[in-house]
Chain A
Amino acid sequence: MPDDKDKENYILFKLVGTTYGIKSDDVSQMEMVEHITPVPNAPDFVEGLVFLRGEVIPAINLRARFGFEKIEYDIKTRIIIVQKGERKVGLIVDNAREFVAIPGEVIKPPPETISGLSGQYLQGVATMGDRLILILNIEKVLNFTNIKTSV
């Protein structure tokens, strides 16, 4: 049994059939998509604003952020509220239903063949059994200015 200190908790979510992992410490909470208020002159991936626990949080469609096609929201669609410093952002994903602890040694840096934006957002690739989990670099994901300039 590996030591608990080597392990970190991840929230697993799915996007276009692929399983991603995000650190539980970065997630403040998770919600179902209920009401999104659109904002004028926002970029394509910004869906609008959601009102949660007294806070107004911007919601990003991660499919659009990662360059995939948008789909309709359903009962399984989740909005994951991530917090980095004072910044809180909601990531809209296809599904999110697992809370797992992943040991640090199974997380490998992303392969060099994956470059560009994808590589930029990924922190590493974890293998658990036959499962492949892409670990997100949340700071990069939340870097809007960079994104803005790149767009």
Chain B
Amino acid sequence: MVEKKEKPKESSKKNKEKDVVMTKGSNPLNLREHTDEIVRSGNELSRINDRLKEDAEKQVRKLDETIKGLNELASIIKETASQVESIASSSEEHTSFINEMAASIEQITANMVSLTSSINETSSSITETSSSIKNVADVTQEMATSATQVTTSINEIANSIRHVSTETDSLVTSINDTASTIDEMAQSIKSVAENAENLASAAEETSSSINEMAASIEEVSATSENLAALVEQISATIEQTVHSVQGVSTSAEKISESASSSASASMQLDRSIRSIANLAKTADEITNRATKDAQEGASTIEKSIKALLKIKETMKQSSTVIRDMGKRSSEIGSIVNTINLIAERTNLLSLNASIEAARAGEAGRGFAVVAEEIRNLAERAAKATSDIASIIKTFQEVTQEAVTTTNEGLKIAEEGSTLAEDAGKSLKKILLGIEDVAQLVNQISTATNEQLTAGQNLVNEASITATQAKQIANATSEQSKAVYGMVQISGQMRKIAQQVSQAMAEQAKASRNIIKAAQNTNNYAASVSRATKEQADGANQIARVMESMKKSTTIISKAISEQATAGEQVSREALRLARLIENINRAMSEQANAANQIDKAAENMKRQADQITKAMSEQSRAMKDTSFAIDNIIKQIKLITGGNIKQSELTTKISELILDIRRFFEKDVEIVHDSEKIISNLIEKVKSLDILWKKGQSKLG
């Protein structure tokens, strides 16, 4: 551009020093060059636009991928949730200590509800995005129609240029006639000068519109920088997601560990329950034996009570017998006393008889002997009775002793009887106690049997929980894989954003070049103005240089044909532009479709979230029977839920960021639209330039 800028100056110098005719030939040549250059710049701009569009498409694809990744993430999160649900359902069998877990599940449910609401918000924002994309698509449609209009006007330009070409041919033939009207030309050159001034002003306008375009391109550049920053933010968010997924993964591993430890604990529980069952059995046997022994003891005690009662009876009987004996002995005593009395009286009688016999002398001798014998018998009787009396006395003493002893025995027997009865009562109580114990032991036995089955179930459930925890671990590893995929996608997005940035920079550079070219055009327009004035001065010399003018016209003809080809190129470029705009349009409609799909996906997500919420609430109802052993798992699940919530939040953030990107795209599209407008303006200016040139030519002709 710098070399070209110098050329007009050189040529103007040549005009002054050597030949004035050269000025007439050089100006259109330069103009054509500049027009060429502008066209080239336009082409470049188009190319850049094309690239921009391609990048936009890529961006859209990446966005789709991102959304797909988000959906995947959502499905994986859902899978995790379903895993959590199946853990919960497997834990249903644990029938105690559940309220805590239920509360936490209710918390989860609440979180899910909030998730659902945030998904709803996302969905509504996506819907908004979709509508804005539709708007963009409409705008793009409009842009396409205007591009078509531009194409037709460019075609018109090309046609008119062709027309100019043919007319230039006739110009050559009528060049001789031209000479005569040179004077008139001088007059007309003045008007040309005026026109040239107009041209200058038009060129200035073009320059200003180009400046506008440059400014808009700068804006685009700034926007793409913002885009890059956003992409950075997204990738940072995704990295955060990676961290949280890793956290979830470690939590899942911990769950797996605690699940396996709870499985082993349940096995221990099972073993201990088995030993308790055995102990209960032994206790049952022992109680049965104790019952038998106690029953035997009771029967023995009853026997002894009976025996004691018999003893009592017997003792009573013997006591009465002994009392009777005592009575009899005292009766015997009284009889003995009577006998004694009789003996005494007999003795007395015998003594009196002896006294009487002694008084009778010899006659009483025999009687005296009888009396003596009677006295002896009485003595013997008295002695016997005294012996009997002493015996009876001892007998009575013994009887008395026997009576007291029997009474004591009776008392002892009664005491023994009461004691035996007490013992019997105690034994009955013991029997009752043993029966109670036996019942309790039976209850324990049945309870331990139930516990045994429950423990078996617990073992099964724990193993199921362990496998599910493993599944969760797998799911989280898949999640982390998906997130890593997203990271890669975001890296690609970053790259694309960088490329867009680069393209924008190039565009800016190109626009700067265009500005320079426009300035040059201005300069040239000024030069043209100056030259036309000089032309006016040199109008008289024109006649002399008619031959050279002829040559010049041939050159002009050639140049115009070249211009015509250039016009055709411009036309082609315009067609391409139109096609590109159509492509953009198509891309926009695809974007709109994608937005619809996202909307659908968001709705699916919503539905799934609702289902999850419903399932969670069902779970929370069903989950009120889970055991203490799951407390650890609950904690871990809480951690996972926290991770999930974080992920959800991050996903929402990503969605928001994507929405921001969308908005930036929208802006880009608008800016592209502005560019298009500016280009069309530019083309119009070029057209007016061309018309002016044509007018000049005709006037010259």
Q: Are B358 and A97 in contact (CB under 8 A)?
A: no
Q: How far is the CA of A96 from the CA of B375 in the complex (A)?
A: 12
Q: Which of A27-35, A58-66, A86-94, A140-148 faces chain B?
A: A27-35
Partner of A32, one of B348, B375, B379: B348
Which chain A positions have C-beta within 8 A of B371?
A: 99
Residue with the greatest number of chain A CB neighbours at <10 A, chosen from B345, B358, B375: B358
Q: Which residue of A lies closest to B344 (CB)?
A: A75
Which residue of chain B has the shortest Cβ distance to A8 in the bound complex?
A: B358
Q: Does A37 contact B (CB under 8 A)?
A: no
Residues from chain A with a CB closer than 8 A to the CB of B375 are 97, 99
Supposing A9-B358, A25-B358 touch, asked if A97 and B345 sit within 8 A by C-beta, the answer is no
Is A84 located at the chain interface by the 8 A CB criterion? Answer: no
Q: Is the CB of A97 within 8 A of B379?
A: yes
B358 interface neighbour in A24, A31, A76, A98, Cβ under 8 Å: A24
Q: Are the C-beta atoms of A11 and B351 separated by less than 8 Å? A: yes
How close is B334's CB to chain A, nearest CB, in angstroms?
13
Residues facing A in B370-428 (CB within 8 A) are: 371-372, 375, 379
Residue of A nearest to B371 (CB): A99
Given the interface pairs A97-B379, A99-B372, A99-B375, the reply to whether A78 lies near B355 with Cβ below 8 Å is no
Which residues from chain B contact A75 at a C-beta distance below 8 Å?
337, 340-341, 344
Question: Do A99 and B354 touch (CB < 8 A)?
Answer: yes
Q: Are B344 and A30 in contact (CB under 8 A)?
A: no
Size of chain A's interface in residues, with CB distance under 8 A? 17
B347 at the binding interface (Cβ < 8 Å)? yes
B375 to chain A, nearest CB (A): 7
Smallest CB-CB separation from B354: which chain A residue?
A99
Which A residues lie within 8 Å of B299 (CB)? Answer: none
Q: A93 to nearest B CB, angstroms?
A: 12
Count, A-B residue pairs, CB within 8 A: 41
B347 touches A97 (CB 8 A): yes
B352 located at the interface, meaning its Cβ lies under 8 Å from any Cβ of chain A in the complex: yes
- List chain B residues, Cβ under 8 A from A9: 354, 358
Interface SS, B side: helix
Complex interface residues of chain A between 21 and 51 (CB less than 8 A to chain B): 24-25, 27-32
Task: Evaluate contact between A99 and B340: CB separation under 8 angstroms.
Answer: no
From known contacts A9-B358, A24-B358, A25-B358, infer whether A97 and B351 are also in contact, taking CB-CB under 8 Å: yes
Cβ-defined partner of B351 (8 Å) among A25, A28, A76, A99: A99
Partner of A29, one of B341, B352, B372: B352
A30 touches B358 (CB 8 A): no
Given A75-B344, A76-B344, A99-B372: A30 touches B355 (CB 8 Å cut-off):
yes
**Whole-angstrom CA separation of A97 from B379 in the bound complex:** 9
Once the chains bind, are A32 and B355 in contact (CB under 8 Å)? no
A96 CA to B582 CA, complexed, in Å? 183
Beta-carbon contacts under 8 Å, B302-347 to A: 337, 340-341, 344-345, 347
Minimal beta-carbon separation of A125 from chain B (angstroms): 23
Please indicate the chain A residues that have their CB under 8 angstroms from the CB of B352 in the complex.
29-30
Known: A9-B358, A25-B358. A96 touches B351 (CB 8 A): yes
Contacts of B344 in A (CB 8 A): 32, 75-76
B188 to chain A minimum Cβ distance, whole angstroms, is 210
Q: Is the CB of B351 within 8 A of A30?
A: yes
Interchain CB contact (< 8 A) of B348 among A24, A25, A28, A30: A30
Q: Is the CB of A31 within 8 A of B348?
A: yes
**Most chain B beta-carbon contacts within 10 A, residue among A31, A75, A99:** A99
Question: B345 near A24 (CB under 8 angstroms)?
Answer: no
How long is the Cα–Cα vector from A29 to B337 in the complex, in angstroms? 24
From residue B50, how far is it (CB to closest CB) to chain A in Å? 172
- Measured between alpha carbons, how far is A99 from B359 in the docked complex, in Å? 13
> With a CB–CB cut-off of 8 A, which chain A residues contact B359?
25
CA distance A95 to B576 in the complex (A): 187
- Closest Cβ–Cβ distance, residue B701 to chain A (whole Å): 210
* Chain B residues with CB below 8 A from A99, complex form: 350-351, 354-355, 358, 371-372, 375
**Neighbouring A residues of B340 by C-beta, 8 Å:** 75
B401 CB, min distance to chain A CBs, angstroms: 28
Could you show 13 A-B contacts with beta carbons less than 8 Å apart?
A11-B351, A24-B358, A27-B355, A30-B351, A31-B348, A32-B348, A97-B347, A97-B351, A97-B375, A97-B379, A99-B354, A99-B355, A99-B372
Nearest 5 Cβ contacts at the A-B interface = A99-B354, A9-B358, A24-B358, A97-B347, A30-B351
Contacts A75-B337, A97-B375 known; list 11 others, CB within 8 Å: A11-B351, A11-B355, A25-B358, A28-B355, A32-B348, A75-B341, A76-B344, A96-B351, A99-B350, A99-B355, A99-B372
Q: B interface vs A, CB < 8 Å?
A: 337, 340-341, 344-345, 347-348, 350-352, 354-355, 358-359, 371-372, 375, 379
